[in-house]
Structure 1
């Protein structure tokens, strides 16, 4: 989907650098110092407009959250949501998360959320899927010994592919849910896409996997 250009986005980023952190690689291995506490750090790759990560930050004040979104015109919307929510345990990064090891140190992260990632359905684009083995290698390195990858999607093909990928990589599947909303999980925070898809009757899938 083409995103509308926001001419004020650059000013917003500069005025809110305490929230949308510039020069992310400079903080590698020192993210807890930026939060000024030793709480575990959870990251979302592909934060979008921020509904999920802001909701999680409000729900879990004892966890530090970092949302990563490459599209400038989208992350400023997430930033405004975070400011409106007045959460102090959330930071945002306007970067391309091609290699998370450039941003986070070994064992620095406790949980990674992958929500409604681009399915890249064509075989020639397999390497771009966020559950492809080269991404799993990154996740394994930055996650701590009990770290998890929590994955949600409405795409059955991507979900099945990801389960196979997790298994082939030697990951332990702690949850495989073929209809997330059927269980009425009170702690589930919906993304904007999740609300849209589920309102149309589409099934939402979720898995939790660890190394």
Structure 2
């Protein structure tokens, strides 16, 4: 679905440099200080991270989003959370934004499944990205992955395993017995209202 361009979106981002740093690459290695650093890739309108930041004030949260029209809504949503910032940028440049071992958790929430084979390399669970995450994650870091697309989930679980990740808390229907601490995204809420299943898994690398 083509997203409409929001008039004034880029101005909204520029007006909040404390939330959307204009030169995020200069903060590489210095995002969180002594706090844990959790990063959502493709943060959309920010519902998930805003609620997470409210629930976990001792954690630093960063949302990465390249579409300024979408990100502008997330910025407007965040009025009070000092532990939440955003990067207006491309996930492919994560290594320029974060230092090796700097990130404690990566959230992949309902990212584009890119179902056509010719677009496989764009999937955020493709091996190229998984190797990048391996570099950026701390020794005890992990990836939390949620999707409504069963084929994409099966694909991702396979590639997590083939690339050395271990799996835990795998569920084929998250909302059947929804955990009390689950925070829903905008898409997740819509899918739940339609009765669609939500697939979820946590992936981590064993400590050598």
TM-score (norm 2): 0.96
- Aligned Cα root-mean-square deviation (Å): 0.9
Aligned: 1:146 with 2:145: no
- Following superposition of structure 1 onto structure 2, how do residues 167-182 of structure 1 map, counting pairs within 5 Å? 167-182=161-176
Instruction: Give 1:53 deviation, angstroms.
Output: 0.7
Q: In the TM superposition, what are the counterparts of 1:26-175 in structure 2 within 5 Å?
A: 26-32=26-32, 37-83=33-79, 86-175=80-169
Shift of 1:30: 1.4
- Quote the residue 1:198 is aligned against: 192
Aligned length: 205
For the residue of structure 2 that corresponds to 1:145, the secondary structure is strand
Task: Could you tell me which runs of 5 or more consecutive residues in structure 2 were left unpaired when the two chains were aligned.
Answer: none
In the superposition, the TM-score normalised over structure 1's length comes to 0.95
Aligned partners of 1:2, 1:17: CA distance in 2, in Å? 28
Distance in 2 between the 1:11 and 1:132 partners?
34
Q: More helix per residue: 1 or 2?
A: 1
1:99–1:138 Cα contact (<8 Å) kept:
no
Q: What is the aligned partner in structure 2 of residue 11 from structure 1? A: 11
Native 8 Å contact 2:10 2:69 kept in 1: no
Structure 2: how far apart are the matches of 1:5 and 1:71?
A: 9
Question: Is residue 107–residue 144 contact of structure 2 (8 Å, CA) maintained in 1?
Answer: yes
